[in-house]
Amino acid sequence: MGIFSGKEIVLGVTGGIAAYKACEIVRELHKGSASVHVVLTASGAQFITPLTLQTLSKNPVVTDLFNLVSESEIGHISLAQRANLLLIAPATANIIGKIRNGIADDMLSTVVMATAAPVLIAPAMNSQMYASAAVRENVATLRERGFHFVEPDEGELACGTVGPGRLADVGKILEMGRIILSEKPLAGKRVVVSAGPTAEPMDPVRFLSNRASGKMGFAMARAARRLGAEVTLVSGPTALPDPHFLATVRVRTAEEMLGAVTREAEGADVVVMCAAVADFRPKKPSSRKIKKDGFGLKVELAPTPDILESLGRKKGSRLLVGFAAETDDLAQNAREKMRRKNLDAIVANDVSRIDIGFESDNNEVRIFFPDGEVMDLPLATKDGIAVGVWLALNGKLLRR
Ligand code: C5P
């Protein structure tokens, strides 16, 4: 179950060319099982029709404060009160100015004033307008008042200029929504998560690697951010884009990952090694592409550094958490690794199963603790498992 599930979201759509992107926002929220109520301003309705948004949201779209039917069915106060989140996307300079100045002359500005729910504003406008003193000052003031913003992206705008002003990526807006709606048990914690495989070069075109997709580690990093932590993700080569609102450091080899994780672990409260670090690397990588007939049939290997073991030797008050991908004797192997690497917990999954692990979007794990306690997290999405792991770690270790 995702964060939007069961939530009441009021989506304000104002008059800009990006109004059509509200369709995608509604669809994504609806897919996440949120109940979406769209409030469309008069100028918004010049760009997109109420019928489109009504069809996608499966709820009546409110356009006019003084419409007797909609006011009796879904009055502005009732909308304002039942919202868990009020999202305005796209938000024009006009609506931002109205909110800042306490003007409530249409349905959207009235609902904003009447709500106690968090308000997330995603501006979209011409770059010159966005850079204007009025908008800068209005945004700064609203931030001080506790309004949340997702800054617009830079790029080519509909008006032909290039610069900041384009509505932020829909995925980024939704991610900020999830962050706002999540509980924050990890607030104040600094977390480092590693993810993905490592790739150990043989020559400039070949490398040794493994099947890790990075999905579990990325989910752990995203979940920690949503739960309030300050997060750095150290990732080996994966096809996944950098997650929003956290720092991502990209590395390739185990040696590079050791350097990055060791550096980032300074001052961190928790290090979670989710990466499937290669155990061996070609001993002498060639600087030139090895010819077919120059290969021979043997590649000499050398061990890579064990990052967790190295952190475990000087861990101080930091929590160290490992992941163990096993095909046999899961409990015994996981416990042995936890002891050898001096860990505070190890999360183990059975990668011989095809429905979980590696490239799958789902997982099922057992968490082992040094005191012998074992927690089982049943089959769920990797995002769901990640939240479960963080809540388990928080309940048992981090709250001390
Ligand atoms: O020994 P094994 O690789 O199965 O241990 C798994 C745990 O150790 C994972 O958390 C993994 O990220 C970490 N590890 C490491 N450095 C290595 C190998 C594994 O930190 N060289």
pLDDT of residue 23: 98
Q: Give the ligand 1 atom nearest the CA of 304.
A: 21
Judge if the beta carbon of residue 273 lies within 6 A of ligand 1. yes
pLDDT of residue 400: 58
**Same domain, residue pair 33 and 57:** yes
Structural domain contains residue 104: yes
Give the tokens for residue 302.
């050398």
Asked whether the beta carbons of 82 and 39 are under 8 A apart, the reply is no
Give, for ligand 1, the residue of 256, 307, 329, 346 to mutate: max count of ligand atoms closer than 8 Å to Cβ. Answer: 307
354 CA from centroid of ligand 1 (Å): 21
**Same domain, residue pair 150 and 196:** no
Q: What is the pLDDT along the chain (400 residues), one digit of tens a residue?
A: 789 999 999 999 999 999 999 999 999 999 999 999 999 999 999 999 999 999 999 999 998 766 655 666 566 788 899 999 999 999 999 999 999 999 999 999 999 999 999 999 999 999 999 999 999 999 999 999 999 999 999 988 887 888 889 999 999 999 999 999 999 999 999 999 999 999 999 999 999 999 999 999 999 999 999 999 999 999 999 999 999 999 999 999 999 999 999 999 999 999 999 999 999 999 999 999 888 776 676 889 999 999 999 999 988 899 999 999 888 899 999 999 999 999 999 999 988 877 776 778 999 999 999 999 999 999 999 999 999 999 999 998 887 5
The answer to whether the Cα torsion of 140, 142, 143, 148 is positive or negative is negative
Active-site choice (131, 159, 331, 374): 159
**Same domain, residue pair 209 and 167:** no
Under DSSP, is residue 151 helix (H, G, I), strand (E, B) or coil?
coil
159 is catalytic: yes
**Same domain, residue pair 318 and 237:** yes
Judge if the beta carbon of residue 254 lies within 6 A of ligand 1. yes
| CATH code where residue 131 lies | 3.40.50.1950
Nearest in space to 386 (alpha carbons), one of 238, 249, 239, 224: 224
Structural domain contains residue 233: yes
Domain count, the chain: 2
Residue the block writes with tokens 């008059």: 15
Query: By residue range, what is the domain housing residue 110?
Result: 8-181
**Residue where one domain finishes, among candidates 130, 163, 181:** 181
Give the tokens for residue 206.
């070949």
Give the tokens for residue 294.
């120059």
Judge if the beta carbon of residue 323 lies within 6 A of ligand 1. yes
Nearest in space to 345 (alpha carbons), one of 366, 378, 321: 321
Q: Which residues of 73-96 are buried (b: 16+ CB within 10 A; e: fewer)?
A: ebebeebbeebbbbbbbbbbbbbb
Query: Facing residues of 29 across strands?
Result: none
pLDDT of residue 299: 86
Under DSSP, is residue 276 helix (H, G, I), strand (E, B) or coil?
strand
Nearest in space to 282 (alpha carbons), one of 304, 297, 260: 304
DSSP class of residue 248 equals: E
179 CA from centroid of ligand 1 (Å): 30
Structural domain contains residue 336: yes
Structural domain contains residue 2: no
pLDDT of residue 350: 86
Structural domain contains residue 231: yes
294 CA from centroid of ligand 1 (Å): 33
The answer to whether the Cα torsion of 283, 287, 292, 293 is positive or negative is negative
**Same domain, residue pair 152 and 217:** no
**Same domain, residue pair 22 and 161:** yes
Judge if the beta carbon of residue 261 lies within 6 A of ligand 1. no
Tally Cβ neighbours within 10 Å of residue 286.
15
Q: Give the ligand 1 atom nearest the CA of 275.
A: 12
**Same domain, residue pair 22 and 158:** yes
Give, for ligand 1, the residue of 306, 326, 367 to mutate: max count of ligand atoms closer than 8 Å to Cβ. Answer: 306
Query: Facing residues of 375 across strands?
Result: 367
Structural domain contains residue 52: yes
Q: In whole angstroms, what is the distance from residue 380 CA to residue 198 CA?
A: 26
Judge if the beta carbon of residue 255 lies within 6 A of ligand 1. no
**Same domain, residue pair 160 and 252:** no
| CATH code where residue 254 lies | 3.40.50.10300
Alpha helix (H) residue ranges in 245-399: 254-265, 307-312, 330-340, 382-393
**Same domain, residue pair 120 and 31:** yes
Structural domain contains residue 1: no
Structural domain contains residue 301: yes
139 CA from centroid of ligand 1 (Å): 45
Give, for ligand 1, the residue of 251, 277, 281 to mutate: max count of ligand atoms closer than 8 Å to Cβ. Answer: 277
**Residue where one domain finishes, among candidates 181, 216, 231:** 181
Q: Which residues of 49-66 are buried (b: 16+ CB within 10 A; e: fewer)?
A: ebebbbebbebebbbbbe
**Same domain, residue pair 141 and 219:** no
284 CA from centroid of ligand 1 (Å): 23
**Same domain, residue pair 218 and 161:** no
Task: Catalogue the E-assigned strands of 27-152.
Answer: 35-40, 85-91, 119-123, 148-149
Whole-structure pTM over 0.85, yes or no?
A: yes
**Same domain, residue pair 235 and 380:** yes
Nearest CA to ligand 1 atom 5: 324
